[in-house]
Chain A
C-alpha cells in the first residue's frame, strides 16, 4: 500500500514537473439570497457580496481559492457574511475536474457570536465548449463529506451546485463568468438549514507569461 502510494505520488510529481503553471485571477460580485430555517422559523436576507478568486493549475492538477464578503439584509435585520473555499483539483478528463477541500461561511450579527459553517467537500466540475476557446458552460456539484456548525456546535452536512457560462475574449487575457450558485447546510437532521443562492458575475484576468 505504501509503495503504491509512493508510486502514485511520484507519478503526480512527475506530471506536475513536466507541465508549467497557469494562473488566473478574478473579481466577483454576487447577489446573494440567504434563507435560514430553524424549525418553523424562517428568515430571508439578501445583499451584495464581493469577492476574489485565484486559480492555479499545472498539468492535471489545480488549486482554487475563493473569498468573498458582504452584507445581507432584510427589512428588519442584517448581517455580514464572509465565505471562502480552498480546493485542490485533478483534471480527470479535459472536461472534468474533481475537487476536494474546505468550504466555509460565517455570518456575523452584531451583539452575537459569529455563526460559522465549515464543510469539507468533494466536487465535480464538468465543462462543455459552445464556441471552442471562447465560450464554455460549466456545471459544478459538490457534497459536504464532513462539516460543522460552531453555534450551536453540531456536525453539519450539506451540498451545493453552481452552473453558468464562461466567456473569454479573443486576443485579450480577460474572461468573464455568469453563474448561478446554490448551497445548503444542514444540522440536526435538517431541523436547521441555511440555503444560500447567488447570481455571480466574475471578471477575470490571465497574466500573460
Chain B
C-alpha cells in the first residue's frame, strides 16, 4: 500500500476544485462585465440625478437604456432607469417626454410603483396620473403544462396598471373566438381560467395555435391595449380501458332446480308402472291377466311422480341466485367504473405551451 496515496488524492481533489471554480468564473465574467457596463452607466446617471445635473442624467439614462442584448439592463434596472428618466424629463420641464417615458414604463411593467423615498411628490403624482390613464395588463401563464379538460384549468394571472375593464377571449390563429374567458373589471390582478373546452363546453378544441387575447377598455369601451398570449394546444392520445367481460357461465350457478334430475327420478317409476301394465300382453299374450297388477303399477308410478316433485323442478335456488347476483353486481360495478373512467379519458389530456406575451396599442401613442 502506498503511504503517500492519501496526500496525493487530496492534492488532486484540490486541483480539480480550483479548476472548476476558475472555469465557472470564466463563464460568468463576460455576462457580469456586460451587465456591469450598463449598470455603471445607470449608477452614473442616478448620481447625476442626485446632483441635479438633469441634462447629464438624461443623457446617461438614455445611454444605459440603449444597451441591447446581453449588455442590456436587467428588467428591474430598466424599470428604475425609465422612472429616473421620467422624473428627469419632468424636472427638466419636458412633460410630454416625461409622459411618454412613464407610459413606456407602465406598458413594460404595469405593476411598477416608484420609490416614494427617492422621487419627489410631484413626480410620484405625475407617474400615478399617467399610470391611471394608461390601462394595460400583462399576463403570466405556465410555460408548459397539461390539464384534463373539464376537471382542471389553465390559470393565467393578469396584472393591471390600473382599474379598468377587460375582455379576455381564447381565439384561433385566424382570430376566430373559441371561448370567451372573462369580461369585466380588473383592479390589481385577476386570474383567468380556461377549463380546456371550447364554446360548446363539452369538448376541447383541436390541436393547434391559439391566442389568449385580453383587451383593455377605456371608459368609452374602446380597446386601448391588447395583450396577446400565444398558446400551443396539443390534444393527448386517448386510451380507453376495455370493458370487463361478463361473468363466465362456468362461474354462474343454476338459479333454478334443473328438470333433468326430476325427470330421471320420474322415469324409473313411470317406466316400471307402464311395464307392469303391459307385461301380461308381452309374456302371456292371450291370457286374462289379473287387474290387481294395476295396484302395483299405480304404486310405482305414484312413487315416481312423488320423486319428480320432490326435486322441485324449476324452483328458484335462493343461494345460487344470491351468488350469481353478487357476481353480476360486481361485474356491473366494474363495468360502470370502466365506463366512467373511459368517459373521463375521452376528454384526454390537453398539453398547453405558452409563448411570450405581446402588448399592442391600437391607438396612436
A residues with CB within 8 A of B: 31, 33, 35, 37, 127-131, 135-139, 159-161, 163-165, 178-180, 182-184, 193, 195, 197, 199
Residues of B within 8 A of A178 (CB): 296, 299-300
Cross-chain contact of A184 among B272, B284, B310 (Cβ < 8 A): B284
Contact check, A137 vs B290: say whether CB atoms are below 8 A apart: no
- Docked Cα-Cα span, A98 to B292, in Å, equals 28
- Docked Cα-Cα span, A130 to B271, in Å, equals 12
Question: Shortest Cβ distance from A175 into chain B, in angstroms?
Answer: 15
Question: Shortest Cβ distance from A163 into chain B, in angstroms?
Answer: 5
- Docked Cα-Cα span, A8 to B272, in Å, equals 34
Cross-chain contact of B279 among A128, A165, A180 (Cβ < 8 A): A180
Main SS class of interface, B: helix
Does B178 sit at the interface, judged by CB under 8 A?
no
Given contacts A139-B272, A180-B293, A195-B287, list 6 more A-B pairs with CB under 8 A.
A130-B307, A131-B307, A163-B272, A180-B297, A182-B283, A199-B296
CB-CB under 8 A for A35 and B271, given A129-B265, A199-B295: no
In the complex, how many residues of chain B place their beta carbon closer than 8 angstroms to a beta carbon of chain A? 30
Residues of B within 8 A of A199 (CB): 290, 292-293, 295-296
Contact check, B287 vs A130: say whether CB atoms are below 8 A apart: no
Question: Shortest Cβ distance from A74 into chain B, in angstroms?
Answer: 14
Contact check, B271 vs A139: say whether CB atoms are below 8 A apart: yes
Does B29 sit at the interface, judged by CB under 8 A?
no
Residues of B within 8 A of A129 (CB): 265, 268
Contact check, A163 vs B299: say whether CB atoms are below 8 A apart: no
As a 0/1 sequence over residues 283 to 305 of chain B, the CB contacts with chain A under 8 angstroms (1 = contact) are 11001111011011101100110
- Docked Cα-Cα span, A35 to B283, in Å, equals 14
The listed residue with most B CB atoms (<10 A of its CB), out of A127, A179, A180, is A180
Residues of A within 8 A of B304 (CB): 130, 137
Cross-chain contact of A35 among B287, B293, B299 (Cβ < 8 A): B287
Does B346 sit at the interface, judged by CB under 8 A?
no
Contact check, B279 vs A131: say whether CB atoms are below 8 A apart: no
- Docked Cα-Cα span, A127 to B269, in Å, equals 10
- Docked Cα-Cα span, A183 to B272, in Å, equals 17
Contact check, A130 vs B296: say whether CB atoms are below 8 A apart: no
Cross-chain contact of A137 among B264, B268, B283 (Cβ < 8 A): B268
Question: Shortest Cβ distance from A158 into chain B, in angstroms?
Answer: 9
Cross-chain contact of A165 among B272, B289, B293 (Cβ < 8 A): B272
- Docked Cα-Cα span, A197 to B292, in Å, equals 10
Contact check, B299 vs A161: say whether CB atoms are below 8 A apart: no
- Docked Cα-Cα span, A132 to B268, in Å, equals 12
CB-CB under 8 A for A165 and B307, given A138-B272, A139-B272: no
CB-CB under 8 A for A161 and B279, given A139-B272, A179-B296: yes
Contact check, A182 vs B299: say whether CB atoms are below 8 A apart: no
Contact check, A135 vs B296: say whether CB atoms are below 8 A apart: no
CB-CB under 8 A for A161 and B283, given A131-B310, A178-B296, A197-B293: yes
Question: Shortest Cβ distance from A23 into chain B, in angstroms?
Answer: 25
Cross-chain contact of B283 among A128, A160, A179 (Cβ < 8 A): A160
Residues of A within 8 A of B284 (CB): 182, 184, 193, 195
- Chain B minimum-CB-distance residue to A32: B290
Question: Shortest Cβ distance from B282 into chain A, in angstroms?
Answer: 7
- Docked Cα-Cα span, A136 to B283, in Å, equals 23
CB-CB under 8 A for A165 and B300, given A180-B293, A184-B283, A199-B295: yes
Contact check, A184 vs B275: say whether CB atoms are below 8 A apart: no
Contact check, B268 vs A128: say whether CB atoms are below 8 A apart: yes
A sample of 29 cross-chain residue pairs with beta-carbon separation below 8 angstroms, ordered by A number, consists of A31-B292, A127-B268, A128-B264, A128-B267, A129-B265, A129-B268, A130-B268, A130-B304, A131-B307, A131-B310, A137-B268, A137-B269, A137-B271, A137-B304, A138-B272, A139-B272, A163-B276, A163-B296, A163-B297, A165-B296, A165-B300, A180-B292, A180-B293, A182-B283, A184-B283, A184-B287, A197-B289, A199-B293, A199-B296
Contact check, A183 vs B283: say whether CB atoms are below 8 A apart: yes
Question: Shortest Cβ distance from B310 into chain A, in angstroms?
Answer: 7
The listed residue with most A CB atoms (<10 A of its CB), out of B269, B272, B288, is B272
Residues of B within 8 A of A31 (CB): 292
Residues of A within 8 A of B289 (CB): 182, 197
8 interchain residue pairs of minimum CB distance: A128-B268, A137-B272, A130-B307, A180-B296, A184-B284, A137-B268, A180-B293, A161-B279
Residues of A within 8 A of B279 (CB): 161, 163, 180, 182
Contact check, B282 vs A135: say whether CB atoms are below 8 A apart: no
- Chain B minimum-CB-distance residue to A33: B290
Residues of B within 8 A of A160 (CB): 283
- Docked Cα-Cα span, A112 to B310, in Å, equals 55
- Docked Cα-Cα span, A131 to B264, in Å, equals 10
Does B205 sit at the interface, judged by CB under 8 A?
no
Question: Shortest Cβ distance from B301 into chain A, in angstroms?
Answer: 9
Does B114 sit at the interface, judged by CB under 8 A?
no
Contact check, A135 vs B303: say whether CB atoms are below 8 A apart: yes
Contact check, B275 vs A197: say whether CB atoms are below 8 A apart: no
Question: Shortest Cβ distance from B309 into chain A, in angstroms?
Answer: 11
Question: Shortest Cβ distance from A106 into chain B, in angstroms?
Answer: 20
- Docked Cα-Cα span, A163 to B168, in Å, equals 99
Question: Shortest Cβ distance from B290 into chain A, in angstroms?
Answer: 5
- Docked Cα-Cα span, A37 to B275, in Å, equals 25
